[in-house]
Structure 1
Amino acid sequence: MDKKRAMTSVDLAALVGELREYTGAVVDKAYLYGDDFVRLKMRDYDRGRIELVIETGDPKRAHVAVPEYVPDAPGRPPNFAMMLRNRIAGANFEGVEQYGFDRILTFRFEREDATTLIVAELFGDGNVAVMNEDREVIDCLDTVRLTSRTVAPGSQYDYPDERFSPLDCDYEAFAAKMAQSDTDLVRTLATQLNFGGLYAEELCTRAGVEKTVDIAEATEAHYEALFGALERLREPILEGRTEPRLYEDDERVVDATPLPLEEHEAAGYVATAFESFNGAIDEYFHRLETESDEPKATGDDGPDFQSEIEKYERIIEQQEGAIEAYDEQADEEQQKAESLYGNYDLVDEICSTIRGARDEGVPWDEIEATFETGAEQGIEAAEAVVSIAAAEGTVTIDLGEGHIELDPFVGVEKNADRLYTEAKRVREKKEGAQAAIEDTRENLADVKRRREEWENEDGDEEPDDDGEAFETDYTAMASVPVRYDEKWFERFRWFRTSDGFLVLGGRNADQNEELVKKYMDPSDRFFHAQAHGAPVTILKATEPDEPARDVDIPDRSKREAAQFAVSYSSVWKDGKFEGDVYEVGADQVSKTPESGEYIEKGSFVIRGDREYYRDVAVGVAVGITCEPDTRVVGGPPSAIEPITETSIRLEPGQYAQNDIAKRLYRTFRERFEDTSFVRKIASADRIQEFCPPGGSRMIDE
């Protein structure tokens, strides 16, 4: 079975109820990693720190994560994160809703000055849209413009057409939907009923029907069996009575489900019980990200036994918590049953009173009012009544040890039997969890044994015959160490030439002025494209912290500076592939115009002879370096490609600056095994800083 890469509609239906338990939490900060991972850091008086994560790329998920699984905050918050902070910092989390049976969640945040809705689309290409209470889009991760719907800043948010929901349909709607198909039972459940392949097969297995029966040959008995299986599957999900499982194959995760699945058990997957589905799905996606196709190693120290040990210890802790919760729940249900028998006459009087009143046609609200009056008069039976639920036909009582819900039409014995049965069911769940924890303890012992055997082996490795050092393949590493120290000049455009010289370029008129006035030394070289709106480009002869001195700058570095100057000019924006560039000395650049003339901000007067570079080809490569530090770099391909672990060349094209940055980010994530590393150092916003203004495309597209 392929590992699950996205949460299903069933998953989200089971998760929504658990996420609502965090209602009232206060938002501290919002973060964006890359262009598809949103993290909301919240706090709650009782629970403490809460980390809500939404990922819309690969994988697609939304859940609360344990703090240990949350990546470190990125160095500079991108614009989307800053917008979120401005909107919801200090706001209360007021709940979440699933849109029909779609993979769409809408989170609601309330603050005195504004209501903010965050919609997570966990289907297709994925998206996160931030809206006001009127559903006007404030911002979104991706702009969507289709004939059927639009998601763009300033537009009215449009949900997709709602799909058929098998979680709230009756038998007639179910049978009618099935009959519309022209394929077999399992494919109809997967597509027409929107269950997907796994749950479609699960329903067939639970119903005891052959999956490949053609719809044209299906009988009412088939439909009734399948609908019965559907009801048994959906009831615990809708009522919040989940029994979450994490499934593994050869100690690698394959799925996390809100209920035990017979399909997974038949496949021989190892199941681990969890107290909550949120906990199971959090563990699943953490393991999915950290597990690689080969055994993990930490540098030269061999297999990472410690990570495996910590994993099993963490699972055991969760299983022990689940067992403790099962104990408490079972004891509570049994105590309620015993309390009914211990107050038999009192409970029987309450039930008999309600039955008699209903037989006489007395409305539920009048019955409730009668009990309230009796309680005021001190009647013991009436005082025990907490509330009446007319829609369900039940009464809730309190006999001094907590609330008990009764069906007044079945008598004391059957109500008590129901509670005893529930206590028995919970204890059976506890027995299953105890068996699971024993399996986990065996796995833990096995890892410790393997670690001991490995440590006792002779770990000396023979040196390489030719004495050459091996290059590290960072793209294949499961965990790439981050080594990043932000430099002051990174707010400008910049790159280092093939010979190591620093080149700086202005992003706007203010930076053009600043570069010339503050950072251009007498020995530096000034480059400018022969085009309107071109940035100032300075080739530094010495490092910024070194005293200026005459240096012989190689022609290769000068030509790279010239290519840099033309690539980030209006030549690229106009879709041209070459342009002219001139070079002058620092002493030829002046802000003083000729008498009677005026120069604009960011412009300069050039005096004396200029050295021209004719028909310079535009060209930019953007890449990621891993040694000696980890960062995004960009500039002329001849200077960038040799120093990067991986890089992508750009040329003028059809994609806007922010769109090409997102494409580059996604491509880099595909190239690195450690996708979290790419998130940390190469967000789309940071990549965009190295993309030329105007449209671009990747050359190898």
Structure 2
Amino acid sequence: MREEMSGLDLRQVVAELSEYVGAHCKKIYQPHHEQLVLRIKPREKSPQDLVIVRGKRVYLSRRDRPMPTQPAPFAMLLRKHLGNGRLTAVSQHGFDRIITLDFDTKDGPRHLIIECFRDGNVILADSTFTIIQPLTHARYSGRILKKGEPYQFPPVAIDPHDLDTDALQRLLRESKRNVVRTLAGRASLGGPLANAVLQMSGISGDVAAEKIAEDTGTVGKISTALSGILAELSVAGDEVPGGWLILPMEKLDLGEEEVDIARYAVEASPVQLPAHGEFHCLPYPRFVDAVDAWMGNHDAAALARRQSEAVETIGGRAPSTEAETLERRFSQQKSALQGFSDKIRRQQEYGHAIHNNWSHVEELLTQVNDEVESNGWEVALSRFKDIPWIESGDPAKSSIVAILPDENGAAEGAKVTLFLSMSVHQNAQQYFETANKHKDKSKGAEVALNETENLLQRAQKKESKRKETGQVARVKRTKRLWFENHRWTILDGMHLLIGGRDAKGNDTIVKKHLKGDDRYVHADLHGAPSCAMKLQTGFAVDPNPPANLPPGVTAYRLSDNIEVADFSDTARQQAATMALCWSRGWSGGGGAGTAFIVKPGQVSKQAESGEYVAKGAFIVRGARTWFKDLRLKLGLGLVCINGIPLLMAGTHVQVAALCDRWVELIPGRSKRERIASRLSKVTGLAVDDIVPVIPGTSELAADHGLINPHNHEEE
């Protein structure tokens, strides 16, 4: 299976990427150290992801892929320089595996250079091609990839498009290798294309290139075959399919199932080669589409792979619970204590070895001191090479590393450091004192180990109790998910609905988050929150849920592209209901209310002459879609989003559809804090995470497994 793109592949990628010149770079992600994703937005087209897997491939994709909540430093740097930059050109360096993306940014021209050879690299350079930052620092013969250094392209290789029959004959005549290696290397064809050209010419690849050059007719056949492949590449995507996915013949019954294609595909190619004759070739309109069908599913799981790799490096599951953290600490402290014991034993052995070889050490110290006093350290060091009992000397510390005799009297015993200014006893005492220091440290380490063991036993009991009661594990995090700063819920179609918590939040919802294809929702009550129905932003089922989730908790992940053409009538009804429940109508004593939905263009801060619009308030003009007789009733369900267990409020019908464990909530007299405290005990979530979800004074109604999961399982 060939995963690395050749110069021929990249030539087609550049041709297809050139259609996106003029698009803007909206976001840059780095879900894995080996992968970068540039989200580009062409005019009048939906956004696409430019996926760069360093050293292997570059292609376009519209897949929904999870991204890290905290961007990597290199991704942050690219956002700073390329954010909202306009793509002005896409080029290939000769026929080499190097692509350059040129951007026009607020700071001037920027170049993103993608190297697809060796281990690969991605380099950000300024207008003068001075390196701003490479993904990986590297040093090669003749060029250095380091911040502040000028970027130097490798020497331009031969472009096969420039090889006519005469040029090809000269190339073969000057080569000392066989013909396939010559075409693959010196002619920049690469192995697969070189073999394809020779197969079409009916020539063995093992024949010496010099011998082939002697026959003009044979060279002509090679030139004709090469020209045919390059001509087919030039019309790929226009007159013929732009890409082909290569599948074994026995898999012809797969149909178009993407999972099976990704599993059984051999490679993707911009043209059909003779070697593909024994395979089944699926056509695609573009080469990048064929690559996406082949490796897109694998690359979309880059974040999950990074997380699993991080887990493996620390030897176990990622510490998301107190018990797991204490287990790791206990293991580390136990290893440290064992290390102290080993150090104490070694230091004592060295001290005893010096005492046991008192005469030998004393004589060695006397001789070295005499030599240093007579001839100096420089001469002494040169003579140490001829003395088997001395390994090295250190003039700065006035010491030597001596080898003590073993049981047979040979110079193969312990190696000890001897200071010339100290006696034999003092040198031995140095090791005993070091052993005593380690003993003191080990006592403290032993106390800490016992404390950790006690804490671990308590945490394991809590963990066992948590699992029995169906509680989720609290995840320590330094930053909330962005939508948690607002009221939020999931609508039918998995759309995200967000609403302001206060006047400042209302301004943020409208000015920052309300886009052209979204919808504005508001209850027909003064002071009600401004809400935004997000068309493209929503949620999808998480294919890699956390391992420590209890039964009945569904895992989702946030998505920026759920690919839904419009909101359903059910989603609009749910949004209007939530806008009413988030208003003061919840605590006002009523049982129903009214809300409306309008387009973003109907919402404005611009008041009529003589009027004033307060902070958090907006003017709505034009026709409105009204929703009347909306019931004040919610559901609270337990979900996991991006690996974080959360309590979600929503219409009771939608919560019942999304959550296996949920409870009904109706207006009442109980304070939010009291309800949150009760729910915290049964779910394991923090009270501070539950209080913002409850709209006001309420009462818990029918339980559907949230408070008592065992009864839910029996149902």
The TM-score bracket by the shorter chain reads 0.3 to 0.5
TM-score, normalization by structure 2: 0.42
Q: Pick the structure with greater CA Rg.
A: 2
Structure number with the bigger relative contact order (C-alpha 8 A, sep ≥ 6) is 1
TM-score, normalization by structure 1: 0.42
